Amino acid sequence: PSYPLFLSKMSSSVQNGTPSASSSNNTESVLREILSKRIMTIDGAMGTEIQRYKLKEEDYRGEEFRDHHCDLKGNNDLLSITKPDIIYNIHKSYLENGADFIETNTFNSTFISMADYGMEKLAYRLNVASAKLARKAVDEITARDPTKPRFVAGALGPTNKTASISPSVERPDFRNITFEELVAAYEEQTRGLLDGGAQVLLIETVFDTLNCKAALFAVTNVWNSGYQKVPVFVSGTIVDKSGRTLSGQVSEAFFNSIAHANIFCVGLNCALGATEMRPFIQRLANVANVFVSCYPNAGLPNTFGGYDETPELMAHSLHEFATSGLFNIVGGCCGTTPAHIKAISETVKGVEPRVPPKPEPTLTVSGLEPLVFTPTLNFVNVGERCNVTGSRRFAKLILDNKYEDALSVARQQVEAGAQVIDVNMDEGMLDSKKAISKFLRLIASEPDISRVPVMVDSSNFEVIVEGLKVVQGKCIVNSISLKEGKEDFVKKAKIVRQFGAAVVVMAFDEEGQATSTERKFEICERSYNILVKEVGFPPEDIIFDPNILTIATGIEEHAEYAINFIEVIKLIKQKLPYARVSGGVSNLSFSFRGQEAIREAMHSAFLYHAIKAGMDMGIVNAGALPIYDDIPKELLELVENSIFNRGADSTDRLLEYAEQLKKKGKEKTETTQLEWRTKPVRERLSHSLVKGIVEFIDQDTEEARLAEPSALRVIEGPLMEGMNVVGDLFGAGKMFLPQVIKSARVMKKAVAYLIPFMDKEKQEKLLSDPNANVASNNGVVLMATVKGDVHDIGKNIVGVVLQCNNYKVIDLGVMTPTEKIIQTAIDEKVDVIGLSGLITPSLDEMIGVSKEMERVGLKVPLLIGGATTSRVHTAVKIAPHYKNPVVHVLDASRSVVVVSSLLDPTAKEEFFHDLKSDYEELRQDHYASLKDRTYLPLNKARSLHQKNDWNSAEKPTKPSFLGTKVLDNYPLDKLLGQIDWNPFFATWQLRGKSPNRGYPKIFNDATVGVEAKKLFEDAQNMLKKIVDEKLLTARGIIGFYPANSVGDDIEVYEDEERTKKVATFFGLRQQAENEMDSYLAVGDFIAPKSSGIKDYLGLFALSTGFGCDELEKKYVADHDDYSVIMLKALADRLAESFAEVLHEEVRKEHWGYAKEENLTADDKIKIKYQGIRPAPGYPTQPDHTEKTTMWNLMKVEENTQIKMTESLAMIPGASVSGLYFANPNSKYFAVGKVTKEQVEDYASRKGMSLDETEKWLRPILSYE
Q: Which residues does residue 293 pair with via DSSP β-bridges, in sequence order?
A: 267, 329
Cis peptide leading into residue 841 (ω within 30°): no
The answer for residues whose C-beta is within 8 angstroms of residue 303's C-beta and 6 or more apart is 870, 871, 872, 873, 876, 926
728-735 LR contacts (CB < 8 Å, sep 24+): 728/893, 729/690, 730/891, 730/893, 731/890, 731/891, 733/240, 733/241, 733/242, 735/690
**Amino acid present at 482:** L
Give the C-alpha separation, 228 to 1144, whole Å.
Answer: 84
| Cβ atoms of residues 46 and 90 within 8 Å | yes
DSSP string for residues in 35-65: HTTS-EEB---HHHHHHTT---HHHHHTTTT
| Cβ atoms of residues 625 and 610 within 8 Å | no
| Cβ atoms of residues 349 and 320 within 8 Å | no
**Amino acid present at 316:** H
What is the set of active-site residues?
789, 791, 842
**Amino acid present at 1160:** T
Cis peptide leading into residue 836 (ω within 30°): no
| Burial class of residue 955 (count of CB atoms within 10 Å of its CB; 0-12, 13-18, 19+) | exposed
| Cβ atoms of residues 245 and 254 within 8 Å | yes
| Cβ atoms of residues 392 and 594 within 8 Å | no
Q: Residue by residue, what is the 3-state secondary structure of 63-78?
A: CCCCCCCCCCCCCHHH
Cα 698–chain centre separation = 30
| Cβ atoms of residues 12 and 71 within 8 Å | no
Torsion of Cα atoms, 1240 then 1242 then 1244 then 1247, to 10°: -130
Cα 231–chain centre separation = 33
Give the strand pairing for 808-811 and 780-785: parallel
The answer for residues whose C-beta is within 8 angstroms of residue 1153's C-beta and 6 or more apart is 956, 957, 1147, 1170, 1171, 1222
Q: Distance of CA 785 to CAs 337, 727, 841, 877, 900, Å?
A: 28, 21, 12, 18, 22
* Radius of gyration of the CA atoms of the chain, in A: 39
Q: Which residues does residue 266 pair with via DSSP β-bridges, in sequence order?
A: 234, 292
| Cβ atoms of residues 1094 and 1051 within 8 Å | no
Q: Distance of CA 464 to CAs 218, 259, 508, 928, Å?
A: 19, 20, 18, 62
Give the strand pairing for 1095-1106 and 1215-1220: antiparallel
CA atoms within 13 A on the CB side of 252: 13
Sign (positive or negative) of CA dihedral 382, 384, 387, 390: positive
